[in-house]
Amino acid sequence: MSFSSDIKKELLSYNYTGRHCLTAALAAVINISGYVGTRDSHRFIIIHNDNTELIEKTADIIYELFGRSVSIGKGNNIAIEDQSLISEILKATGVKDSADFSVASPIDFYVVSKNCCKRAYIRTAFLCCGSISDPHKHYHIEFVDNDYEHADSLKRLIANFGITMKIVERKNHFVVYCKEAELIVDLLNVMSAYRALLELENLRVVKGVRNNVNRLVNCETANLNKVISASVRQIEAIEYLARQNRLDQLPDSLKKMAEIRIMYPDASLKELGEKMTPPVGKSGVNHRLKKICEIADKLKGDNNYG
């Protein structure tokens, strides 16, 4: 089962305690997965979604709100032709009565005036048209809407919780999406998808630790490479001076430093300094080795010139 499917299963088990939240949820279903039309001067509402559990839950909500049973037909369809029930539904949900078979309508913000109702609408919108990528691969959550006005209204509704979404058109649909992990976590919290939220947060922690370890390893590797490169250059300079019989001409402090470096090619500056008598600090060791390299470079230049 996919991460999206797990979230939807969790959201479908959510129990609403207020009629206002049930109304907001029903409004979301009709706006996204239904349409209101007129035939022979009679209105009708058709609701369809491939998610059978969502359609069943919608039928339960209608019964709980209006005390009327609606049947579920073939293909997960709910067809409502009872004129009085249609009037009650449209009045309660704020869904527009459209004679042109409009799939979606902008959200009636009176219906979602309370935060709990906003959350109910967003939760149901995800059930209707939402999906989220496997967070092991990348972070991406989206709502695929058929109507730009409704997509924009949904985007503004989500923004009430400090979550910034974007809209892009894709194959005649309007996608409200977000790719920021922190905002996706916040949105899961708004929808009350707490199990998914904890799973995503745990994964973020693991990824964060792994990234930090990789950064530290890369940093240590880079530092080690620098130390090795410096050591190789210093030893080459000392060996060149030895071949030119110039080591004995170096001042005692540089000559001793050269001997210690040759004896301990893998030692750090600190370790080299501790082996000197008396001990020398890192800056002192660095200065002496740098001076040896400069002398070797100058001698090479003079020989090449000569």
Instruction: Give the model confidence (pLDDT) of 126-175 as tens digits.
Output: 999 999 998 888 889 999 998 898 999 999 999 999 999 999 999 889 99
**Dist CA 9 CA 6 (whole Å):** 5
- CB-based contact 108:27 (threshold 8 Å): yes
**Dist CA 32 CA 19 (whole Å):** 20
Full DSSP string of 202-242:
HHHHHHHHHHHHHHHHHHHHHHHHHHHHHHHHHHHHHHHHH
Q: What pLDDT does 103 receive?
A: 44
Scanning the structure block, which residue is given the tokens 């088990």? Answer: 13
Q: Does domain 3-192 have CATH number 3.10.28.10?
A: yes
**Dist CA 217 CA 304 (whole Å):** 42
Q: Is 131 helix (H, G, I), strand (E, B) or coil?
A: strand
Query: How far is the CA of 168 from the CAs of 22, 140, 152, 243, in angstroms?
Result: 29, 13, 11, 71
Q: Is 264 helix (H, G, I), strand (E, B) or coil?
A: coil
Residues paired with 130 in a beta bridge: 143
Q: Smallest Cα–Cα separation from 105: which of 49, 150, 169?
A: 150
Domain with CATH 3.10.28.10 in the chain: 3-192
Please determine, for residue 302, whether its predicted confidence score (pLDDT) is greater than 80. Answer: no
Q: Is 152 helix (H, G, I), strand (E, B) or coil?
A: helix
- pLDDT (average), residues 76-82: 92
**Dist CA 30 CA 108 (whole Å):** 12
Scanning the structure block, which residue is given the tokens 């509704």? Answer: 157
Q: What pLDDT does 207 receive?
A: 67
Give the whole-number percent of the chain exceeding pLDDT 70.
92
Q: What pLDDT does 100 receive?
A: 43
From the number of C-beta atoms within 10 Å of its C-beta (0-12, 13-18, 19+), residue 124 rates as buried
- pLDDT (average), residues 211-230: 74
Q: Is 186 helix (H, G, I), strand (E, B) or coil?
A: helix
Q: How confident is the model at residue 63 (pLDDT cuts 50, 70, 90)?
A: very high
